[in-house]
Amino acid sequence: MTGARFEGAGERLGSAPRDVLEALLASVADAVYVVDAAGRVEFANPAALDLLGYTEEELLGRDSHATIHHHRWDGTPFPEHECPLLAPRATGETVRVDDDAFWRRDGSRFRVAYSSAPLATRGGRGAVVVFRDVTRRAEAEEAQRREAVERARAEEIHASRARIVAAADAERRRLVRDLHDGAQQRLVRILLSLRLAANEATRAAGGRAEHGDAAGGDAATDAGGEQLRELLDEAASDTQAAIAELRDLGSGLHPQILTNRGVAAAVESMTAPLPLLVTREIPERRWPATVEAAAYFTIAEALTNVVKHAGASAASVRVVDDDGGRLTVEVADDGRGGADVTRGSGLAGLRDRVAALDGTLEVESADGAGTRLRATIPLPAS
């Protein structure tokens, strides 16, 4: 730093001897420069020269805005009349800016925080600018912001998956209720009417026989009555079959027994008709509806797979509520093994359903060693 260059600023920076000020400005970590009334760099301390990449000879006397502040961080031009750094020359007020860009000699940029204060120089009011490279701080802040946005997005996706599963379960329960209270009830009433009509037809035919009508020889009426009864019986058994089909459809969607009595009862009624031995160990307890649905559908899919693919002689179902806030559902068979989540949609769908509740699905299934499927589902704190 040369004494001559320093003179303009030094005279105004206080009454301390110039060499003290010089020493001070040379040693402070903050970068400092002074512009004169015309906005030209009149003084720059070593920290400023270092950050900007200039020698003193290169920088002094240059138009400060055009040299180090010509563009904003986003690359758009920075008109000099909008420059806050130079404003104190006109306003006499100090300006502080937290995040802006300065441009180095080599054309690269860095983020700066600065204050610019009015300073009387020989040619009129100039400004003294103190600045710091805040690139690292700004980058850290930006990374933090990005992380927070990412986290919020991941949380939202996660929450929306859980909501979708819960909504789908609720919708299945509603459909089952509608089927039961609507079509099924109506079919039951039709069935009753058909039974009554068949009985009437039988009675009418019997009555005629008793009154000796048959002797009168109206064989055609008798045959018609018999035919009518057969038709009514047939219609009744078709209706009965339709009721059974509706019931099966409903229980595939969401078994009423699961809603009414929970997992243990629902699994018991599911395993009864299966063509293999299934041992069950399931506590008679109730859990939240989404957890029960996940447990039930895990067991249903696993047992369907055992019947379809395993060639097993026995299977076991175990549900453990370890009171540690999670439910473990395990289905094992002694069949051929080789289950693969990526091959069908059953196991993959289960994995998604369980994951939506924050749980995990593991499949152990070495060739020839049977299959063990384990779902672990966290239980809500309440």
Ligand X SMILES: Nc1ncnc2c1ncn2[C@@H]1O[C@H](COP(=O)(O)OP(=O)(O)OP(=O)(O)O)[C@@H](O)[C@H]1O
Instruction: Give CA–CA dist 62/5, Å, rounded.
Output: 13
Helix axis angle for 18-27 and 3-12, nearest 10°, is 100
Contact call for residue 71 and ligand X (CB under 6 A): no
Residue 345 interacts, among Mg ion, ligand X, none and using kind-specific CB cut-offs from 5 to 8 Å, with ligand X
Q: How far is the CB of 305 from ligand X (least distance, A)?
A: 3
CB of 366 to Mg ion, least distance (A): 19
Q: Are 339 and 305 in contact (CB under 8 A)?
A: yes
**Sequence-ordered list of residues with C-beta below 8 angstroms from that of 54, at least 6 positions apart, any chain:** 44, 105
239 binds Mg ion (CB under 5 A): no
**DSSP result, 207-247:** HHHHTTHHHHT-HHHHHHHHHHHHHHHHHHHHHHHHHHHHH
CB of 146 to Mg ion, least distance (A): 41
Given the rule CB under 5 A, which of 10-18, 31-39, 271-279, 303-311 is the region that contacts Mg ion? 303-311
What does the per-residue mask of binding to Mg ion show for 180-219, with x meaning CB under 5 A?
Answer: ----------------------------------------
Candidate list 263, 310, 319, 329; residue touching ligand X; CB under 6 A? 310
Q: Which does 343 bind (CB under 5 to 8 A by kind): Mg ion, ligand X, none?
A: ligand X
Does the protein bind ligand X through residue 371 (CB under 6 A)?
yes
Q: Which two tokens stand for residue 239?
A: 């209706």
Nearest to 319, CA basis, from 251, 248, 356, 266:
266
What is the spatial distance between Cα 309 and Cα 142, in angstroms, rounded to a whole number?
A: 53
346 binds Mg ion (CB under 5 A): yes
CA distance 278 to 326: 24
Radius of gyration of the chain measured on its C-alpha atoms: 43
- d(CA 317, CA 358) in angstroms, rounded, equals 22
Residue 250 DSSP SS3? helix
Q: Could you say which residues in the range 322-361 bind ligand X, by CB under 6 A? A: 333, 335-340, 343-348
Binding-residue total with ligand X (CB under 6 A): 19
Look at the block and give the residue holding tokens 């004494």: 3
**CB of 348 or CB of 379, closer to Mg ion:** 348
Q: Which is nearer to Mg ion, 193 or 251 (CB)?
A: 251
Q: Residues 208 to 237: which contact ligand X by CB under 6 A?
A: none
**In the complex, least distance from residue 274 CB atom to ligand X, rounded to whole angstroms:** 13
Phi/psi at 93 (5° precision): -100, 150
Out of 187, 305, 327, 334, the residue judged to bind ligand X by CB under 6 A:
305
**Residue least distant from ligand X (Cβ):** 344
In the list ligand X, Mg ion, none, the entry touching 187 (Cβ below 5 to 8 angstroms by class) is none
Q: Which is nearer to Mg ion, 250 or 346 (CB)?
A: 346
**Residues at the contact surface with ligand X, assessed by CB under 6 A:** 305-306, 308-310, 333, 335-340, 343-348, 371
